Amino acid sequence: MIRVGIVGGTGYTGVELLRLLAPRDEVEVVTVTSRAAAGRRVDAEFPSLRGACELAFVPPEEAPLSDCDVVFFATPNGTAMQQAPALLDAGVRVVDVSADFRLRDAGEWAHWYGMEHACPERLAEVAYGLPEVHREAIAAAQLVANPGCYPTAVLLGLLPLVEAGIVDPRRLIASAVSGASGAGRRERADLLLAESSDSTRAYAAAGHRHQPEIRQGLDLAAGVPVGLTFVPHLVPQVRGIHATLFAELNTDVDVQSLFERRYADEPFVDVLPPGSHPQTRSVRGANTCRLAVHRPDSDAARVVVLAVIDNLVKGAAGQAIQNMNLMCGLPETRGLSCIGVLP
Amino acid sequence: MIRVGIVGGTGYTGVELLRLLAPRDEVEVVTVTSRAAAGRRVDAEFPSLRGACELAFVPPEEAPLSDCDVVFFATPNGTAMQQAPALLDAGVRVVDVSADFRLRDAGEWAHWYGMEHACPERLAEVAYGLPEVHREAIAAAQLVANPGCYPTAVLLGLLPLVEAGIVDPRRLIASAVSGASGAGRRERADLLLAESSDSTRAYAAAGHRHQPEIRQGLDLAAGVPVGLTFVPHLVPQVRGIHATLFAELNTDVDVQSLFERRYADEPFVDVLPPGSHPQTRSVRGANTCRLAVHRPDSDAARVVVLAVIDNLVKGAAGQAIQNMNLMCGLPETRGLSCIGVLP
Amino acid sequence: MIRVGIVGGTGYTGVELLRLLAPRDEVEVVTVTSRAAAGRRVDAEFPSLRGACELAFVPPEEAPLSDCDVVFFATPNGTAMQQAPALLDAGVRVVDVSADFRLRDAGEWAHWYGMEHACPERLAEVAYGLPEVHREAIAAAQLVANPGCYPTAVLLGLLPLVEAGIVDPRRLIASAVSGASGAGRRERADLLLAESSDSTRAYAAAGHRHQPEIRQGLDLAAGVPVGLTFVPHLVPQVRGIHATLFAELNTDVDVQSLFERRYADEPFVDVLPPGSHPQTRSVRGANTCRLAVHRPDSDAARVVVLAVIDNLVKGAAGQAIQNMNLMCGLPETRGLSCIGVLP
Amino acid sequence: MIRVGIVGGTGYTGVELLRLLAPRDEVEVVTVTSRAAAGRRVDAEFPSLRGACELAFVPPEEAPLSDCDVVFFATPNGTAMQQAPALLDAGVRVVDVSADFRLRDAGEWAHWYGMEHACPERLAEVAYGLPEVHREAIAAAQLVANPGCYPTAVLLGLLPLVEAGIVDPRRLIASAVSGASGAGRRERADLLLAESSDSTRAYAAAGHRHQPEIRQGLDLAAGVPVGLTFVPHLVPQVRGIHATLFAELNTDVDVQSLFERRYADEPFVDVLPPGSHPQTRSVRGANTCRLAVHRPDSDAARVVVLAVIDNLVKGAAGQAIQNMNLMCGLPETRGLSCIGVLP
């Protein structure tokens, strides 16, 4: 039995971790923390969990986290870097679903997240939790930085091109949209249904925190610094990320075959047949990334990749569990066989 | 291994049956029929099933239905009554998710469905597939009529009151809303997102086919003919039924306790604490009916019951599988432990 | 030129008043107040108003409200009753779009709104701003209480029946749904798109503040105290109220004709042909209430009325302007000819 | 009085033309044609128009189109090119809101629209109805090709850059999303609310009909053939186009000022302040295009332009009326002062 703790259980990643973990036989969620909701039953906050979770939220300092085998941080940025070191020292495996350990460079992290990093000395031991790239490192790691939602979709879509060295690495463009759950459970007027329904808008068009995270992954794959423009958007849906990726080929290759080969053995990456357009609804609730590759008629050198994920599953809780499975020596797909809820 | 056939697999009930059945070990879906989509892969029609279903649609006459242990009819009304008798004669168990076998009176059926019933002689052997009322009959039946989506929600909400004889049976009112998937996969302009999004409307306010079905169930519980006004509405969401039920108490009882006792042993009916308001999203993708009971301050005799289900799960495919489990001697909850997808 | 002030301009009623008033030639909005947004341009808060409004929000104490001909209170409950008396004394006409002056009984108001009424002595002079009932009183009044959104829809739907004395006044039922804008611009998690999209729920099923307001209007029409059960719901759309109203006829009359006669001369009430089902989208952005009347087959005595309005127009800002027009001697329909935005 | 005819009045452009034209004093819509709905009242098809339009649909051959001053074609592609020549010969001004006259090259048109052009000899006299570029030609024209919805947004967003010659014309990228009304009133399963709600997908990623239309406009502005990749997407909203445009600067200029100067005198183009992100809801129902310009931190040469329009107003009916105003010598903004419906 794997004993699991969840730090910060009142957000969407928290409830999604519980949705996916509660039915499992070999996993027991033993504690879910929340300072604000301490004492309240988890299923009072999230009625979907009635009958599946008998826990109440506990304050983090009262939670038996160091007795857990795995602890997930589903906290706002800045918390995991404070609390994870003690757990690591106690031998606990940690999957941080926040952004604290995603960037290797503490200075760049401080620039984008507006605070000093609390434990830069730990960054060298972090595995970046994208199994399709770092599977072995994840399996060996005690601390995994779960990728951001946009980085997951964009990296899975661009990596085959960049790894193969067949596109101009200075001219990568990612235009991506996210459902409102991607903004987290923040009580902001602009995220109200009355304001964000029936409307689309970009945000952070001049620079978003996920850009350096994506770029770091692409740099590694390219072996040289890449140029990436990334523009995120909010669309009126609950879940789902759709990334539309543009690159310029520097050689004429069969990109469809390239993608199919790259992901042939990946259980959670599905390359669609030529001519396809993946829909976010096809992965709603599922841990799958679906990809399609297009060569526009209008420009011989252009390749367009379309990538969809559920931002709360492959983009957060599902991938975190995939990482937990790897870290614990379980089959990687265990507990992640949910089929997309469609319609 | 239970061999399953699905007749009419291109609608929303079809894909939902496959979503729920595909991951199961002891069930094998051996054939899915469709005349219109014959030859097409099921996962080309429903990309969410990629990796989970390798079948192609076959024309019904070529499908090995009589070799199945269980056949689900997910067809438009009027088909199952033509095809089920031969399968029953061949010893196949049949769960009809269409309306063909729901009314005991063939004449009333003909009135509401606009055609003569093709096998009225079979109606006497039908079990009405609401396990919370007819569990034993279902387990013993070869032919089960799966309840309509509205009838499931309205009956589960009103039955405790009517069975106990504590409300005026002549004055029952059900005002219910459904998401657009309840209308089926029909290519109608009024069901386009551009026409039904950001809008609510009633329909069939003077008489809907589910009214006689609900009334039949209530008559049986009351032992007398009841008076029921039922008004359905379309609201701009994909899944979910919310029924708001009004009755007049003829005695002063603790209705909260009554409901809790009535459903204490039911795995798929969840009576919420006093003061609760169930949300359809709490059951999205789950086979659960959530209920809440209110006594408005403004009227001593009035009781208001709120009931929510996912119309495609407890209101269709999930309940059909619950019935299959009962008919096949499996644990009733097998394969139905999905937790609601929230948010 | 009519000089208009708006108190509390950062909510949805505020921006809707500006949308409707800005294009008018004979009206000038001279001040819009907000304490929180003081100094900020109105069109920075609401970009839809760019090019149509050059004002900045001013703190209420600095606003030239007493120089206005008409002041609208678009404030949270409890503000207008503090500030209106001084304006009234200064000769300003006041339309209160909040709830402060809607109930005639200060004690009942205090019960439902949780605070003592600040100027109960003013309640006798208030005109209830439903022109279809109180047109002459409104025209003569200096202080108008603009009806709530639900009361507008429910009263317009039930009044013809109650005024005619043809229904059992003890058994009136209103089941109504509202879009999320009806909850106002409140930063609450349950109103986020991620939580309220693709979901329906009731709220305040045991008692909502609009119930006594509706009952007061029905009592007046009936001449006796009525019994009314009112249950509101939140549906996943931005605008729109749909009320489904149930009553028991005590005589057999042609209710369709009754409704058509009752509203024959009303510019903003549209009785649909028999068999119709009004959609909220047909009145999106318009000051119209659309009604349809049904006699269910299943119950000879039952009548069902369907009523739709845009909660921000006929349910708030539009009706407020209709009242302003009456108070100022302008044609009642001036500036209110917007056609519903469909699709 | 300007007498107007609308050919093909049962689609969304038809009802939007009526919404905008019905309230006008100097315009009379004298006939609305539809073969399928002939004999049916227009306001039975579109209840939002009740009280604003007393017409019934007439078959096109019975409609007094040649007696009109202006005829709008709101038809599927392929109709206007058959019927417009006779009207032009009769002296009628024609605004074609379909695609028949948008491309100057009949061969290219045939390639993209899958049929031969019926009157290639008329193409030379067509004015492309983007007033911000072709105002004088439109005023002088008898036949105006109303731009497509995507081309309107993309051209207004890219033209300042291309006209100024400051970007690499071979590397223009447009990633754009549209609400479902952009697909027209087509009864297709993939456009049902149940299938397109809560989901995003690209379509025609390898080549969309609007690409050559946009490219034609950019070629003209650039004076050289441009390279443009255009990927459209469907997002779950009713109205609205959001275009995200990427270009590479070949010189360092103040693009914000450039845009402000370019559109300083344009009544329907609104350049937002630096750092802004326009939302489609800010233009819902309005004839406005809102633009914002960004220079991403991550790439010195990159410029990102964000453009929003209501696809049915500035992207169709509103721009068509703007063109009619110009053709008829009326003030260009007449009847187009609607403020966006927000929330």
Confidence at residue D298, expressed as pLDDT on a 0 to 100 scale: 79
Query: Minimal CA–CA distance to B224: which of B216, B234, B232, B235?
Result: B216
Confidence at residue C297, expressed as pLDDT on a 0 to 100 scale: 83
Quote the radius of gyration of chain A (alpha carbons, Å).
Answer: 20
Kindly provide the residue ranges of all beta strands, DSSP E only, lying in chain D, ordered along the sequence: 2-7, 27-33, 70-73, 93-96, 127-128, 143-145, 172-178, 201-202, 228-234, 241-248, 269-271, 289-294, 302-309
> Tell me: the pLDDT tens digits for C228-272?
999 999 999 999 999 999 999 999 999 999 999 999 999 999 999
**For A343, nearest residue in chain C (alpha carbons):** C198
Question: How far, in Å, are B284, B335, C34, C52 from residue C39 at the CA level?
Answer: 45, 59, 9, 18
Query: Is residue D68 annotated as a catalytic residue, yes or no?
Result: no
Confidence at residue C298, expressed as pLDDT on a 0 to 100 scale: 78
Q: Which CATH class is domain C2-125?
A: alpha beta
Confidence at residue C300, expressed as pLDDT on a 0 to 100 scale: 80
Measured between CB atoms, which of A189, A236, A238 is closest to C185? A189
**pLDDT at position D300 over 90:** no
Domain with CATH 3.30.360.10 in chain B: 149-311
When scoring D154, D171, D175 by the number of chain A Cβ atoms within 10 A, the one with the most, hence best to mutate, is D175
Contacts of B285 in chain C (CB under 8 A): none
Give me the mean pLDDT over the B332-337 stretch: 96
Q: How many CB atoms lie within 10 A of CB A28?
A: 14
Give the HSE-up count for residue D342: Cα atoms under 13 Å, Cβ half-sphere. Answer: 29
Catalytic residue among C149, C289, C328, C338: C149
One-letter identity of residue A34: S
- DSSP assignment of B123-180 equals GGGPEE--HHHHHHHHHH-SEEEPPPHHHHHHHHHHHHHHHTT-B-TT-EEEEEEE-G
Q: Place B260 in a pLDDT band, splitting at 50, 70 and 90.
A: very high
Sheet with D70-73, strands from edge to edge, namely D27-33, D2-7, D70-73, D93-96, D143-145, D127-128
**pLDDT at position B297 over 90:** no
Tokens 């089920």 sit at which residue?
B84
Q: Does a cis peptide bond (omega within 30 degrees of 0) precede residue B343?
A: yes
SS (H, E, C) chain C: CEEEEEECCCCHHHHHHHHHHCCCCCEEEEEEECCCCCCCEHHHHCHHHCCCCCCECECHHHCCHHHCCEEEECCCCCCHHHHHHHHHHCCCEEEECCCCCCCCCHHHHHHHHCCCCCCHHHHHHCEECCHHHHHHHHHHCCEEECCCHHHHHHHHHHHHHHHCCCECCCCEEEEEEECHHHHCCCCCHHHEHHHHCCCCEECCCCCCCHHHHHHHHHHHHHCCCCCEEEEEEECCCCCCEEEEEEEEECCCCCHHHHHHHHCCCCCCEEECCCCCCCEHHHHCCCCCEEEEEECCCCCCCEEEEEEEECCCHHHHHHHHHHHHHHHCCCCCCCCCCCCCCCC
Confidence at residue A111, expressed as pLDDT on a 0 to 100 scale: 97
d(CA C70, CA C90): 11
Give me the mean pLDDT over the D103-120 stretch: 97
Per DSSP, the three-state class of B261 is helix
Catalytic residue among B53, B68, B119, B149: B149
Confidence at residue D285, expressed as pLDDT on a 0 to 100 scale: 98
- Assigned token pair, D131: 């007033």
> Tell me: the pLDDT tens digits for A222-255?
999 999 999 999 999 999 999 999 999 999 999 9
Which chains lie within 8 Å of chain B at 3 or more CB pairs, if any? A, C, D
- Assigned token pair, B316: 């269709």
- Assigned token pair, C112: 């439902």
Question: How far, in Å, are A70, B5, B182, C228 from residue B128 at the CA level?
Answer: 47, 20, 20, 36
Model ipTM?
0.97
> Tell me: the pLDDT tens digits for B140-165?
999 999 999 999 999 999 999 999 99
Confidence at residue D116, expressed as pLDDT on a 0 to 100 scale: 97
Contacts of C200 in chain D (CB under 8 A): none
As a whole number, the mean pLDDT across chain D is 97
Confidence at residue C65, expressed as pLDDT on a 0 to 100 scale: 98
Record: contact B180-D194, CB cut-off 8 A: yes
As a whole number, the mean pLDDT across chain C is 97
Measured between CB atoms, which of B195, B275, B280 is closest to C200? B280
Domain with CATH 3.40.50.720 in chain A: 2-125
d(CA D172, CA D228): 5
Record: contact C341-D281, CB cut-off 8 A: no
Give me the mean pLDDT over the D29-42 stretch: 97
Contacts of C228 in chain B (CB under 8 A): 298-299
**D97–chain C nearest CA distance, Å:** 18
**D177–chain B nearest CA distance, Å:** 15
Confidence at residue C67, expressed as pLDDT on a 0 to 100 scale: 97
Record: contact B194-D183, CB cut-off 8 A: yes
Sheet with C27-33, strands from edge to edge, namely C27-33, C2-7, C70-73, C93-96, C143-145, C127-128
Burial status of residue D108 (CB atoms within 10 A of its CB: 0-12, 13-18, 19 or more):
middle
Could you list the pLDDT tens digit for every one of the 343 residues in chain A? Answer: 999 999 999 999 999 999 999 999 999 999 999 999 999 999 999 999 999 999 999 999 999 999 999 999 999 999 999 999 999 999 999 999 999 999 999 999 999 999 999 999 999 999 999 999 999 999 999 999 999 999 999 999 999 999 999 999 999 999 999 999 999 999 999 999 999 999 999 999 999 999 999 999 999 999 999 999 999 999 999 999 999 999 999 999 999 999 999 999 999 999 999 999 999 999 999 999 999 999 998 778 999 999 999 999 999 999 999 999 999 999 999 999 999 999 9
Confidence at residue C190, expressed as pLDDT on a 0 to 100 scale: 95
One-letter identity of residue C228: L
Domain with CATH 3.30.360.10 in chain C: 149-313
> Tell me: the pLDDT tens digits for B3-19?
999 999 999 999 999 99
> Tell me: the pLDDT tens digits for B110-129?
999 999 999 999 999 999 99
Measured between CB atoms, which of A197, A201, A228 is closest to D278? A201
One-letter identity of residue B94: V
Give the HSE-up count for residue D229: Cα atoms under 13 Å, Cβ half-sphere. Answer: 25
Measured between CB atoms, which of A187, A194, A238 is closest to C180? A194
> Tell me: the pLDDT tens digits for C2-44?
999 999 999 999 999 999 999 999 999 999 999 999 999 999 9
- Assigned token pair, B236: 């701009």
Give me the mean pLDDT over the B302-314 stretch: 98
When scoring C195, C196, C200, C241 by the number of chain B Cβ atoms within 10 A, the one with the most, hence best to mutate, is C200
Domain D149-312 has CATH 3.30.360.10: yes
Q: Which CATH class is domain C149-313?
A: alpha beta
Q: Which CATH class is domain A149-311?
A: alpha beta
Domain with CATH 3.30.360.10 in chain D: 149-312
d(CA B269, CA B264): 8
**pLDDT at position D299 over 90:** no
**A100–chain B nearest CA distance, Å:** 24
- Residues with Cβ within 8 Å of residue B217, at least 6 apart in sequence: B128, B130, B133, B151, B155, B159
d(CA C138, CA C144): 7
**A204–chain B nearest CA distance, Å:** 24
**For C302, nearest residue in chain B (alpha carbons):** B229
Q: Place B243 in a pLDDT band, splitting at 50, 70 and 90.
A: very high
> Tell me: the pLDDT tens digits for C107-164?
999 999 999 999 999 999 999 999 999 999 999 999 999 999 999 999 999 999 999 9
Q: What percent of chain C has pLDDT over 70?
A: 100
